Structure 1
Amino acid sequence: MHKPNLANTFTFKIEPDDHGGKTKTVAINRQNAAGPSLNPKGRGKKKEPKAHLLIGFDTEYQAVSDQELQSTIEQGAKNHLLSYQFSIKLLTDEATEASPEAEGIIIPEPDTRLSMEEFLGFAIGTLIEKYPGIVLPTHIYLIGHFIRADLPAFVDFRDKAQRLMSNVRSTFVTIDSSIPVTFDDNEGAVAEFSVSIRDTILLAPANAKSLADIGEIVGFEKIQLGSSPEEDKQIKQNMAIYLKEHWPDFRQYGIRDAQVCVRYAERVIAQSKALFGSFKMPATLTSFGTKLLLQGWKEQGLDKDQILGREEVVDKKFSEKKGYFQKVTSHPFIEEVYYQEAFITETYHGGRNEQFIFGIADEGRWRDHDLSSAYTTAMALIGQADWENIRTLTHLEEIRPLDLAYFSVDFEFPESVRFPTLPVRTSNGIIFPRAGNSKCAAPELFLARRLGAKLRFRRGIIVPSDPTKPVFKSFITTSIQNRSAHAKGTFDNLFWKEVGNSTYGKTAQGLREKRVYDLQSDDMTSLPESAITQPYFASFITSYTRAVLGEILNGFSPKVDVFSVTTDGFLSNANDVEIANATAGPLFRSFSDARKQLDENGEPLEVKHTVRQPIGWRTRGSATLKAGEGKNGIVLQKGGIKTNPYNNASDENNETVELFLNRKPDDKIRYKSGVGIKDMLRRDTDFVFRSVTKRLSMEFDWKRSPANPREVDIEFNGKRYKHLTFDTTPISSASEFNNVRDSWEKYDKRSHHNLKMFSDFTDFESFLATSKLPDQQPAKYLHQKDGDLKRLRRDLTRAFKKQQAGFDIILGKRHIKHSEYKEALEACGIPCSINDIDNAKRQEFKPHQTIETERVRIALETLKRDFYPELEIELLLPEVNMETTEKSPLATAA
């Protein structure tokens, strides 16, 4: 890098040495400056800019190697910076002709980095060189995609980030302030700018987060480096070689990324101008939704505080910075709402997420059905609430499914209900047990009654509401109509989809504490409430969505297998007739009617994916063994498993499946994980992918009880595998869930285990049963392997020595040597030694203490048939309750 003689002149290399090493000099002149943009005293109302400089920013670098990373991460790991590239465009509020734009690349000297001012100065100077008469606006948007990876390339990044930037969803933006940049010559300031940082990843739709997706949306596609996904992945991991061997392509690729950011920024600003008359670029896409909603209420003459159960309060607060009292306006909940807030928040739960089949599903036609716009449709059903007349209920009244009513109830579902529908919160997420206590809202209580659940009232609150005055419907209708007016995959279609879908989350923001890192304080702080946070609404919306799903699941006949449920959808092998029958209930009809009112051409239930054979292990942990046809033929939820960040969808699926099928108890997974923002700031590191090693965790989560355990043979990628598979039934209660989870953790703690073979399942079943059976010294018998057979040996040897359970008759007829008895037990699969028999004389025989597993019963029946016909098996096994048949502690019959 050549240091400029003057701070308004910049000279940098624009070609690598291997390709000529050409340099370029540009300058920023007074005649190009619009005038001062900064107000040093910070007084007076800022005027909205009528023009912006959009500067798309990207860097290319060779990632630091694992060996280098391990030795430098504590001191501040740095990637090998290859290039800075930019795309710069003048965007005016009322452009009538093509806007001036330019682009370029900078090749830094080895181990040298630019300041933000130097980079901006060279980009601006490049535009001036192309358009010498241009007059520059005073505001700049510096835009990147996942800019967190590129900003550290500036030598002054850390200082600017800590003073002037904010952390939003793990990337950097400016919100409350901008970055001042001044260019000088010997006579003083030449030009002054204020710089706002924006990241297109925060402005991208939920299902289009990559830069390639964004480029496709705006019709300016990102360049692919390789002719195949595998080649593209290899090149991106070796960019230094690509620069040296393919310089023209490297230059074009780097600049295109910066150009895509500018094109997308233009669309976002144009949308802001069209919707709000504001020629600005918001920091996030979700902010559009909240702003549109509040604007719509105002245009309809509605009071947002009245809708949300809040009131405006004006206080005076002393400002130490300014030295005087200031008026501070807040909008707390009114008393009636506030007094019940803690209870209502307890009735708020997230989506329903469960794995119903562990292991390998049968091959067939598995379809992933989603409720279309589930949360937004639920929002549209909320009527104007009469907050001042909230009423406490004294018993379970006849509650309607769309009431804003909230309950604490004890419940028990009939055995015939395959999928209980009342949520119970645990330290490991929500579960749906057969019985327990639930804090829930009206939709799920209504469904529980229809399913025949026994309910015992504990507490209830109802807010009178007027369904003829829906408070969100107009906003949602506008979002859906605008979305439907544009072709799928276009900017406008995806924009309106995201605006509608993301607004629900704002009603729940801040209800349960979420800690986020704050750059300025260098500490963790609580995520605050949004402008529309309302726990009563958030609870109803999620309850209604879970209830509609629960009604569908319980509407299937027993021959339908449901593989999993995830938030607003389910994967099943139900055919069209079964789907029609399951969607005939009142809750789905209300959902369907609401969807039709919002979008008369929209289908309430959509098929998102179709696969031939899925494989699953836990909540949000599933993949595809045999894909379906088309681009939506793979279902993949990695359940926290991280794979190569350069993988495409097919590679990710294959890698995940092979991890599951080939895992061993002590397997560890090594993957690349991006360093966090906190470490980047505290250690002054680049965004680097460090290697993380952790134990591979792909086992069942025990939210349901296993049933019909079996081994299934399959072929994947040319190899044969055999794997444990089981169906599930509802867990009986939260206490049983906690007991099984705790038992699995204890079982897995001393030596690690997988659930891969049937024997793995029975070993844990034995451990669980042993730990649950009463005993004077239970810990002594908590054997992790063959616990059921070891308990059987204990009881048989005690019965033999104490002449119980039929041995009084057996030994009365003939003498049996210890060696003979040992051989008889071993012939039946019961491990035994002479010492085991000798030691048994010290303990009394207690009936009904043996663990009843399949192999225990087989061993006993063999011992009785082949050796001791007088053996009284029923005195060893648990007593049978004639009213409720005793079952295995873990598995149930299918």
Structure 2
Amino acid sequence: MSTKKNPAGLGGGSWEIERSGSDDSLPFGVKKTHLSIVSDVEDTDWTTRLVDVSLGNPDIKNTSLFSVLIRRVERGNVGWVSETHPTDSSEQGSEAAGQVIRTLSGQNPLWESRLAGLKGQPTCDPAGAAVPAFGDLATVRSMGTGQRTHVIGFDTEFTYVSETERVIDSYQFCCLDPTDEDVRIDVVILPLQQQRILVEDALYIVVRAAYLHRLVEDLHPRGVARRDFWKNGDYKGALDALFKHRVPLVLAGHYLPADLTAFARPARQRRGGEKYNDLLRRVTSASGGLVGLNPIRVVRRGGRSDGSRWMPMSVIVRDTMGQVAPGQKTLAALGKSCGVEKIDVGESISDMSTLRRDHLVEFLEYGANDSVIVLEYLGALWGLNTVPPVTISGGGARALRDGVMDYWGIDSPADFRMRFQGLVELSTAQAEGNDGDDGLSYYAVRDLAPVDGDANQTHTAWKKAFHGGWNACIAPGYHPYPTYDHDIQSAYPSAMASIYDVDYVGGAIDKVIKDRELTLDDFDHGPITPMVAYASWEFPDDTVAPCLPVRSGDSVIYPLTSHGCGAAQGDEVDGYRGFEGAWCAGPELYLALQLGAQVTVQIGYTMRVMDAPDGNEDGSRSLRSALRQMVADRAIAKEVFGKGSLEEQTIKVGTNSCYGKLAQDVAERNGWDAWEEQMESIGGSAVTSPYHASMTTSLVRALLLAVANEIEILSVTTDGFITAVEEIESLECFGIAEVFRNARLALADDPTVWEVKHKQDDLVNLSTRGNVALSAGGVLAKAGLKTPKA
């Protein structure tokens, strides 16, 4: 590792919060510890400062002393490591299999190269067309934000002194030099009195150490003079004036529930009761981490009265837990992908306080390295000093939205919300007198409301008809004969690509079905007719797999009849118990009629289908167009960077998460509120739609339930099943298979619906998602069971 020395002194001369290590007024223990730190790093790249963040800060009454260590490092051989992962023997022998590509001096093939320098990778396709860089793919452009700012990698080290109490040993940060992205600046803050530091003080130190303030026009290193922005009696106006000079930052860590809670908690409150400078008030849980949905204003105050200076910082919080594919969520995996190997300190990991005291240099290298992994990984994935999306799945939702908007030829998010989701901003709805909705959490949390009465009624109906996948162990026991584990190829994207768009502009309800039996004539578009109904039913007694779902506690059951298990249960009143039925979606209602069921609808709606923008289709299918682009971009990434590469995995995760984003908070879902220390509704995503979500999952269930009525199946899990029947592609599934064939053809130019994931000569069917075979390559689903570690 090489360093760049700054002749003027790292951090830009003396700081107003700095104290001399030889000051006799320092507490003896603090002085001794700091001087020991200075001695330990004397022959290293680190320079030290002793700071007292209470100096000039009216919010801190007592001394608050920290040792700050800073170094400048040539980034060198850092960048994206693109690996192909062979999956069978034929790939093992390929020239590309297992190759590792490492770029030089901060470049990375995702965003900066034209692939010409990537050994073994093509620069054009077989037809001679140029292959775009990863960052040039439409999906990746949409997933990313493209916004430039200072990205700070962040981590902490701590030691538990009891089951619930920990000592913070260090706060470590790193960022790029704002004028030279080949240079990284590492900052480590060491508490000297086992105290915690306020987030504004820590970020202020990083800003000063890395000169991040100097790219803000006319910003003094200590911030803005209070007299230049303060307006008597206008607190909001003063803050608005102050934040015109803000230092924009991204504070990024890995698993921030551990690290973001290491900062001191401020006692001061702003006017209006808002908590002062506390990031935990403004973050929410996502993908196992903590993220900020919007920039957070953080101010560091120094000095008193008009002579004081305030440093305004706008902080975006990101967690790399949400920036990586499932199964790759360890910091070591992130480091491997970007060329920064995670350091192992062995058993010292459980007692970092001792490691810091006895082996400070090793401690510093370990701690700083973790923050470097975060910084370099995000730079490799989204571009150096670029604001990452909230999560990869959030980026996928953004790409889906952009694809829908491109299909319709619109560029307004407000138009998208109205056309796709049937929602408008709450202020608009109130102005139009539409304030009587039921406040479903998925839109209420986002201050949105249904566009009109039709939307209000049907949002509620589709929400009630929404259920998850069909999962069942139909034939438990030992099956000593050949069986096959079939999966629907790209089940949820294929179902999403089949669904028509509802025309919410001018009233979404086309027909109302009231107090009558349902017939196949009600399905103008076959199994993908946009219908939702509160229905009761009777299947023939010999029906193998009834297909209309009823929620029972946390489970979903499929009874032959709704009588006795429908939604209206309770005591009879004057001989009437109520209409014993359930809310069901079109695909399963269609299949029920095909299976011979008698279905009676108390109230139901058929939605009005939107016209296709080009007039060439029988109705608008915006999701098909959007997903086609994402599937094509994933194929390019797979071809250029290799199957299983993180480039391909990034688009795969973004694409596969689109269904989850359509369904986000339709079935109410809570996240952890770190400030209130309680669960709260997470609200919907940018594309949440009860209609699209309910139709999608109903269509997937309907295909599996149709198969179960044509052949014997042993077990089923969400998008696949196990059976003794090998050839199933020819099954018509009462017309539902054709829907999937058309979608597969549109998305992947291949009408094949099914693929065999496993085949085995024997099978033990233990439970739902519990399937075990002894055959090599056979199914192994553990039902959540884990073997104990030695």
TM-score (norm 1): 0.55
Contact 1:289–1:500 under 8 Å retained in 2: yes
For residues 148-297 of structure 1, the aligned pairs below 5 Å read 148-156=257-265, 160-161=277-278, 164-169=281-286, 171-182=289-300, 189=309, 192-216=312-336, 218-220=337-339, 222-223=341-342, 225=344, 236-237=349-350, 251-267=364-380, 269-270=382-383, 280-297=387-404
Residue 430 of structure 1 corresponds to 556
Letter in 1 for 2:549: P
Closer, same or farther: CA 126–518 of 1 in aligned 2, 3 Å: closer
Displacement of 1:540 after TM fit? 0.9
Q: Deviations over 1:145-201 (max 9, x none)?
A: 111111222224796437752223364333344242437589854965333221122
Residue 651 of structure 2 corresponds to 496
For residues 274-423 of structure 1, the aligned pairs below 5 Å read 280-299=387-406, 300-302=408-410, 303-304=415-416, 305-310=418-423, 313=428, 315=430, 331-358=449-476, 361-362=478-479, 368-387=485-504, 388=507, 389-393=509-513, 394-398=516-520, 399=523, 400-414=526-540, 416-423=542-549
- 5+ residue gaps, structure 2, are 1-13, 22-29, 52-144, 222-245, 268-275, 433-445, 563-580, 612-617
Contact 2:512–2:606 under 8 Å retained in 1: yes
Distance in 2 (CA, whole Å) between partners of 1:90 and 1:19 is 27
Does residue 589 (structure 1) correspond to residue 738 (structure 2)? The answer is yes
Contact 1:164–1:178 under 8 Å retained in 2: no
Work out the number of aligned pairs and report it: 574
Does residue 554 (structure 1) correspond to residue 554 (structure 2)? The answer is no
Distance in 1 (CA, whole Å) between partners of 2:480 and 2:358 is 48
Closer, same or farther: CA 332–175 of 1 in aligned 2, 3 Å: same
Secondary structure at the aligned position of 1:280 is classed as: coil
Residue 253 of structure 2 corresponds to 144
Q: Deviations over 1:25-81 (max 9, x none)?
A: 2599xxxxxxxxxxxxxxxxxxx99752221111233344xxx32xxxxxxx32243
Distance in 2 (CA, whole Å) between partners of 1:127 and 1:311 is 43
Contact 1:182–1:190 under 8 Å retained in 2: yes
Distance in 1 (CA, whole Å) between partners of 2:752 and 2:360 is 50
Distance in 1 (CA, whole Å) between partners of 2:399 and 2:500 is 19
* Match of residue 754, structure 2, among 590, 598, 605: 605
Closer, same or farther: CA 473–551 of 1 in aligned 2, 3 Å: same
Secondary structure at the aligned position of 1:100 is classed as: strand
Displacement of 1:538 after TM fit? 2.0
Distance in 2 (CA, whole Å) between partners of 1:341 and 1:25 is 60
Letter in 1 for 2:499: I
Larger Rg belongs to: 1
TM-score (norm 2): 0.62
Residue 474 of structure 1 corresponds to 625
For residues 656-671 of structure 1, the aligned pairs below 5 Å read none
Displacement of 1:402 after TM fit? 1.1
Contact 2:531–2:604 under 8 Å retained in 1: yes
Q: Deviations over 1:255-275 (max 9, x none)?
A: 33212211232245449x9xx
Displacement of 1:545 after TM fit? 1.0
Distance in 2 (CA, whole Å) between partners of 1:224 and 1:584 is 54
- RMSD value, Cα: 4.5
Secondary structure at the aligned position of 1:390 is classed as: strand
Contact 1:311–1:334 under 8 Å retained in 2: no
Does residue 7 (structure 1) correspond to residue 153 (structure 2)? The answer is no
Contact 1:51–1:91 under 8 Å retained in 2: no
Q: Deviations over 1:758-783 (max 9, x none)?
A: xxxxxxxxxxxxxxxxxxxxxxxxxx
* Match of residue 545, structure 1, among 700, 711, 725: 700
More relative contact order, 1 or 2 (CA 8 Å, 6+ apart): 2
Q: Deviations over 1:799-841 (max 9, x none)?
A: xxxxxxxxxxxxxxxxxxxxxxxxxxxxxxxxxxxxxxxxxxx
Distance in 2 (CA, whole Å) between partners of 1:444 and 1:10 is 75
Letter in 2 for 1:428: D
Displacement of 1:127 after TM fit? 4.0
Residue 175 of structure 2 corresponds to 88
Q: Deviations over 1:3-29 (max 9, x none)?
A: x9832679898999799376842599x
Contact 2:152–2:251 under 8 Å retained in 1: yes
Contact 1:362–1:613 under 8 Å retained in 2: yes
Distance in 2 (CA, whole Å) between partners of 1:257 and 1:461 is 55
Distance in 1 (CA, whole Å) between partners of 2:485 and 2:36 is 51
For residues 820-835 of structure 1, the aligned pairs below 5 Å read none
Contact 1:611–1:624 under 8 Å retained in 2: no
Residue 154 of structure 2 corresponds to 57
Residue 102 of structure 1 corresponds to 185
Distance in 1 (CA, whole Å) between partners of 2:759 and 2:786 is 15
Displacement of 1:544 after TM fit? 0.3
Residue 819 of structure 1 corresponds to none
For residues 785-800 of structure 1, the aligned pairs below 5 Å read none
Q: Deviations over 1:234-292 (max 9, x none)?
A: 67556567778987665544333212211232245449x9xxxxx53332333334433
Displacement of 1:210 after TM fit? 3.2
Closer, same or farther: CA 499–440 of 1 in aligned 2, 3 Å: same
Contact 2:703–2:737 under 8 Å retained in 1: yes
Displacement of 1:593 after TM fit? 2.5
Closer, same or farther: CA 209–180 of 1 in aligned 2, 3 Å: same
Distance in 1 (CA, whole Å) between partners of 2:635 and 2:596 is 40
Distance in 1 (CA, whole Å) between partners of 2:489 and 2:329 is 21
Letter in 2 for 1:173: V
Contact 2:421–2:689 under 8 Å retained in 1: yes
Distance in 1 (CA, whole Å) between partners of 2:761 and 2:786 is 14
Q: Deviations over 1:405-447 (max 9, x none)?
A: 1233333445554433221111232112233244322211222
Q: Deviations over 1:502-555 (max 9, x none)?
A: 233333344344444545666654443444333222221110011112223333
Distance in 2 (CA, whole Å) between partners of 1:219 and 1:157 is 36
Distance in 2 (CA, whole Å) between partners of 1:520 and 1:633 is 44
Displacement of 1:480 after TM fit? 1.2
Residue 20 of structure 1 corresponds to 40
Residue 323 of structure 1 corresponds to none
Contact 1:395–1:460 under 8 Å retained in 2: no
Distance in 2 (CA, whole Å) between partners of 1:114 and 1:106 is 9
Q: Deviations over 1:93-144 (max 9, x none)?
A: xxxx744312354554473433334543554555469x99999992221110
Does residue 507 (structure 1) correspond to residue 662 (structure 2)? The answer is yes
Closer, same or farther: CA 210–589 of 1 in aligned 2, 3 Å: farther
Distance in 2 (CA, whole Å) between partners of 1:128 and 1:141 is 15
Q: Deviations over 1:450-473 (max 9, x none)?
A: 334444444432123254421212
Contact 1:315–1:329 under 8 Å retained in 2: no
Letter in 1 for 2:409: G
Q: Deviations over 1:465-502 (max 9, x none)?
A: 25442121221111111112112333442332233332
Residue 590 of structure 2 corresponds to 446
Letter in 1 for 2:517: H
Residue 113 of structure 2 corresponds to none
Closer, same or farther: CA 367–445 of 1 in aligned 2, 3 Å: same
Contact 2:300–2:310 under 8 Å retained in 1: yes
Letter in 1 for 2:317: I
Residue 779 of structure 1 corresponds to none
* Match of residue 566, structure 1, among 717, 721, 727: 717
Contact 2:671–2:681 under 8 Å retained in 1: yes
Secondary structure at the aligned position of 1:546 is classed as: helix
Displacement of 1:350 after TM fit? 1.7
Letter in 1 for 2:623: F
Distance in 1 (CA, whole Å) between partners of 2:200 and 2:654 is 35
Contact 1:26–1:126 under 8 Å retained in 2: no
